[in-house]
Structure 1
Amino acid sequence: MLSRTYSLLLLAIVLMGSCSPIYYKPNRVNAPMLTDAGQVHFCVAPNNAQVAFSPVRHLGLIGNYAGYRHSGDYGREHARMFEVGAGYYGLIDTSRHSDRLRFVYDVYGGFGAGRIDVRNEPGYYYPDATLTRAFLQPGIGLRTRIFEMSFNWRVCHLSYSNLSAPPVLNGSPFDGSSYFTMEPALTLRCGYKAIKAELQYVHAMPLSNIEWNYINNTLNVGIAVLINGYR
């Protein structure tokens, strides 16, 4: 029985190593939960970096960087993407109950572009590709000095172009192809005032027929910093 378990585990490792390149992996959702003008929010996580800034009340500007690496029998790949966006945020007044409790709602939209570079081993012909993505991201959140929680619902439009070689059937996107995904995300933060540890889960649900390899679940751990958020 034990040897059979080891055999199944070895088979799973082999299959994981032989899979095709990953042509999409949902990045961390930028969920700053801004509440006033002059606030700046940073979050740094492995392969993700994000910033948000409110120049005037109710207006938020966001910027994202994300990347990942993947390898298998086909070779290896390196992907990266930059995004910018803007949106509206509001605050539900809770001052009559507590000056330390904030309910926040917001909606952001944005656009980004990136590149997926694939280095193939002999006998494999997976193409490089340019990825552009537009997104709309409503969210609601709860913020205190110690704990924060946010739920966001991101809808994305993915477009692939500039493939370096003809697409691999069922293994890569087609040149000029477009896809839609719906990506709910839950963000939890714990710390004190300006600095908090963050845990975020993102799940990508395809709204289009996607036959190539992608990742639909990501778990991100990082550090979040909010400047001018606690006076």
Structure 2
Amino acid sequence: MPYVRSRKFCCCLPVRFGVFCESILGIAVGGFFSVAAWLQINKFLHGQLKDLSQSDKIALWAVAATMTFAVVTSLLGLIGAIGRVRALVAIYASVLTGVTVLDIVGGIYFIYQLFHGYGDDQIQKCQAQADQGAPGTVDAEHWACSAGFKTGRIIVVVVYVIWWLIEIYGCVIAFEYVGQLREEEDASFSDREKNQSQNITIVTQPAAAFSQPQPYAFAAAPHSYGPEFKQEPL
């Protein structure tokens, strides 16, 4: 196989290794979140989670579906990285991009609900429970409810942003490896064509000898009417 320069990420790591690692990471992380989401869905389908709003149920279904799909495509990417199969890696890169976009949209929706829906409800429940406690500790507990949820929401936003950046960079690595595999296939095809043309030239060389003109048989001395020929007198 002809040599093709290996593309890198993070300055020194080959992109094939990157696709291999992010595929395993996608299987692990996607499997964890998909299992957790499906377990929650199973609970509210059996009536164990009655306090979930319709938006929370939609978010759970979206997370479960996208994470399950991510596990399947990560498995394809892992097989493609091990076997150097460009079609599988291309499918993985394309689906990874789509999952990343859906994940960003779903994360934005979840953060919006966290700041304007679910979070406010939880703060009100926490403050209502604080009102039932000792009178001297109500203000401190109110502050703990508000400050705790604000800090938690900020942490969630930071984690989401970091995860989105990792996903976007993973898409770049996957497409870089697709480009490298395309270069390897093109180089291999060109090398094959070169070898075939050389073989054709070697085979056709003996046939060239038959195309050269042959000497006329009657031009030889025994068959010619030269000076040695003497005509008998009549």
TM range (shorter): under 0.3
TM-score, with structure 1 as normaliser: 0.21
TM-score, with structure 2 as normaliser: 0.21
Give the number of the structure with larger relative contact order, counting CA–CA contacts within 8 Å between residues 6 or more apart: 2
Computing the radius of gyration from Cα coordinates, the structure with the larger value is 2
